[in-house]
A and B are shown apart, each in its own frame.
Chain A
Amino acid sequence: MVEYIIRRTLQMIVVFFIFLVSSYLLFNAIPGNAFSNLLLNPNLPPDAYQKVLETYGLDKPLGERVQLYVVNFFKGDFGYSYKYFPKTPIELIAERLPRTLMLFSVVNIVAFYTGFFIGKILAWRRGSKSETWITITSVFSYTVFYPWFALMMLWFFGYKMGWFPIGKFLYPEKWYDAPFDSDVIFSMMIKFTLVVSLLQFFAYTATRGIEALSSRRNIRFASLIAIFIGSYFYWNTGEALARKPYAADIAYHMILPVMVVTIVAFAGTALLTRTTMMEVLKEDYILTARAKGISQKRIRDRHAARTALLPVVTSFIFTIVTIIDGSVLTEQIFSWPGMGQLLLQAVLEEDIPVAMAAFSFVGVFALIAHLIADISYSYLDPRIRVKSQG
């Protein structure tokens, strides 16, 4: 396994190198001199302009520039933003990334679970009236033109009903005298979500060895309650208590985008789960499981849905890859100042160092997601488990 990961990492470095060079060349193909934007920046003293020009070799021929860029990149030097001059792309990304991560990890988790659950039920109740209607609804939400749908939802829930805020990720007036940055809250929320999901995962794995099904269920339920109580105490003590209203403000702003994207995104998972699981239900081992006298629910969850999971996870991992680039549309519609907006602005305003850094970030993210996908396969499906060679 270790050997496999090392081999894959080396491959990834090569792929990333190609990705980096071709992105640079593509940006270079944009007409006009992007660098001259820098001259228009009033924050920039003339000698600094000259210095940047020399450091990054911007007056050199293309070949040398690419070389210099790649070398600097691997040194961790991404240059400076042309637009927000003293800031580096890394600073900009560090500010935007938690916002995007928070929003889209919630969206993806919610969409995956709803999709998988609904797909499972659909396959199980095949032929019933409810199945027909839910399938038709899923196909609708899978094929609907997303920007139109998002705007309609925004109009209805935000404007007509007034339940949710229209755009932005917080009420600025609330944050006027806040003693900290919104990023602090975001990273706190991300950490909290991560810890809670990890705890739940451990509770689930640790109880797998318990033989009696009823006590296994009880212990799992108890652990869930413990986690719930634990999080209640966390948010009501010390530092977190002071931050709670701000976190609640962000969470409130998240509801509508999460809901809209989930409605669009769950359908793919649901329809895929439905199809795969209907195949699985025809398999002989489902008949064996029924003959063993196992309960219907357990056959559905443990035997059918578990085996149908693999293709679903594959498609899900590819969705994760689009977290950042796919967020461009969503963030634009909901005025959510995350990575997607940063990317779009950087490209439109030819802020090339920022755009390059953001793109490379997406690239790294995609490569890592694929590696995680490959590793997680081996846990999901023992048939393709990687054997160490030798």
Chain B
Amino acid sequence: MSKDILVVDNLNMHYETLEGKVMAVNNVTFSVKEGESFGLVGESGCGKSSVASTLLQLQSDNAVISSGSIKLDEKELVGMTESELRKVRWNDISIVFQGAMNAWNPVIKIGEQIREAIREHYPSNSKKENTEKISELFKIVGLEDSIMDRYPHELSGGMKQRAVIALALSCDPKIVIADEPTTALDVVIQDQILKEIKKVQELLGLSLIYISHDIAVIAEMTDNMAVMYAGSIVEKGPTASIFSNPRHAYTRLLLESTPSVVGEKKKLRALDGEPPSLINGLDACAFSPRCPDPSDDCKNGNLEMKLIEIEDGHWADQCCVNCG
């Protein structure tokens, strides 16, 4: 068994707003092993990206981590100073952001923007070494060397996203977070990029956190996964196990809302209602108002949200396990 590279333990984060505290991340606990690919899935606003930005300590100024810890390779990230964090960022943990379109500074050449990151973490490298490194990365993601001298607006969306992946790999990070890397791309390019990420991950033995709202992509990409709802993880475990045997009502609905290409034609199910407001937090089960067929415990709010182990490594929120 390889060791855990990232351990997130009981992480709580909220945003201070004028209307109150928005509890964006509640008691999130998960770990990622070396070389593992971990998926985080959930609908818009469920806190996936908040988790991602908290992992790099890049959350906005009004975000407060109230408790919990993030251990990256035995190093505690919560409470690090800015200069300590700067050394960790990109060198140990890097991120592929949503929307590669805007991830590049429009007035600086692609090569220079990648070189800038390497220069920050390996200041003694010569220009030639850095160029060779970038060229090597470009080869992995399938880009020509000449892209280095291009400006971002001269590249297509897919090329930009490939370059972003090269950028994320430039300082040999231990773990890469991919935060909806295919959002702004068309399906054909999406597929290419996903294959690219998978190839790179296997080639370099990277640990990867893949964040997406598309459960089909998660199925294709990850070994283990977690389903998030209203800032909390409601189910987590091996991807195969969750797909074959979803236990939480929300996961089941999520799976039934995605059409399958093979097999019999089933009617897709939609979920009524809206996600709950996270202002000032929630008591009891967050999902019960939308639960199509809640069990008595769930309806009456008898059970607090707590993950229980259902089978080996497969956890689900106790509240909705028995719902319809």
Residues of A within 8 A of B (CB): 209, 211-214, 283-285, 287-296, 302-303, 306-307, 380-383
Contacts and interface: CB of A to CB of B under 8 A. Distances in A.
Given A211-B125, A213-B123, A293 B91 contact: yes
Interface in B115-165: 115-117, 119-121, 123-127, 130, 151, 153
Interface string B72-93: 0000000000100111111100
A49 B121 CA distance: 80
Most central of B94, B108, B167 by chain A CB within 10 Å: B108
Given A211-B130, A295-B86, A380 B107 contact: yes
B116 A381 contact: no
Contact of B106 (A209, A292, A293, A383): A383
Contacts of B17: none
A381 B106 contact: yes
B123 A212 contact: yes
B82 A296 contact: yes
Interface stretch (B96-104, B207-215, B252-260): B96-104
Given A213-B123, A283-B102, A307-B107, A293 B88 contact: yes
B16 to A, nearest CB: 14
A212 B115 CA distance: 11
A290 B125 contact: no
Given A211-B125, A293-B121, A306-B107, 17 more contacts: A211-B115, A211-B119, A212-B119, A284-B103, A285-B103, A285-B106, A287-B58, A288-B167, A291-B90, A291-B97, A292-B89, A293-B86, A293-B89, A293-B90, A306-B108, A307-B105, A380-B107
A36 to B, nearest CB: 59
Contacts of B105: 285, 288-289, 303, 307
Nearest to A290: B58
A273 to B, nearest CB: 16
A213 B119 CA distance: 8
B104 A285 contact: yes
B56 interface: yes
A135 to B, nearest CB: 19
Contacts of B102: 283-285
Nearest to A280: B105
A214 B123 contact: yes
Interface of B: 56, 58, 82, 85-91, 94-95, 97, 99, 102-108, 115-117, 119-121, 123-127, 130, 151, 153, 167
B127 A209 contact: yes
Nearest to A309: B107
Most central of A209, A288, A381 by chain B CB within 10 Å: A288
Given A287-B97, A292-B116, A307 B88 contact: no
Nearest to A303: B105
Contact of B97 (A284, A293, A303): A284
13 contacts: A212-B124, A213-B119, A213-B123, A285-B102, A285-B104, A285-B105, A289-B105, A291-B90, A291-B94, A291-B97, A294-B120, A306-B108, A380-B107
Nearest to B85: A293
A211 B103 contact: no
Contacts of A289: 105
B160 to A, nearest CB: 11
B89 A211 contact: no
A306 B106 CA distance: 10
Interface of A is mostly: helix
Contacts of B126: 211
A299 to B, nearest CB: 10
A81 B91 CA distance: 72
A383 B107 CA distance: 8
Contacts of B153: 382-383
Contacts of A294: 86, 116-117, 120
Contacts of A285: 102-106
B103 A288 contact: yes
Nearest to A304: B105
Most central of B91, B105, B119, B153 by chain A CB within 10 Å: B105
A290 B89 CA distance: 8
Nearest to A310: B107
B272 to A, nearest CB: 34
A278 to B, nearest CB: 14
Nearest to B99: A284
Given A211-B126, A213-B123, A293 B117 contact: yes
Contacts of A293: 85-91, 117, 120-121
Contacts of A303: 105, 108
Contacts of B121: 293
Q: Which 4 A-B pairs have the closest CB atoms?
A: A284-B102, A293-B89, A211-B127, A382-B151
A145 to B, nearest CB: 38
Nearest to B151: A382
Contacts of A284: 97, 99, 102-103
A283 to B, nearest CB: 6
Contacts of A381: 106-107
Nearest to A379: B107
A382 B153 CA distance: 8
Nearest to A382: B151
A364 B87 CA distance: 54
A292 B56 CA distance: 10
A295 B90 CA distance: 13
A285 B283 CA distance: 38
Nearest to B170: A292
A294 B104 CA distance: 14
A292 B117 contact: yes
Contacts of B116: 292, 294, 302
Nearest to A126: B61
Contacts of B99: 284
A369 B28 CA distance: 59
Nearest to A381: B107
Nearest to B123: A212
Contacts of A214: 123
Contacts of A283: 102
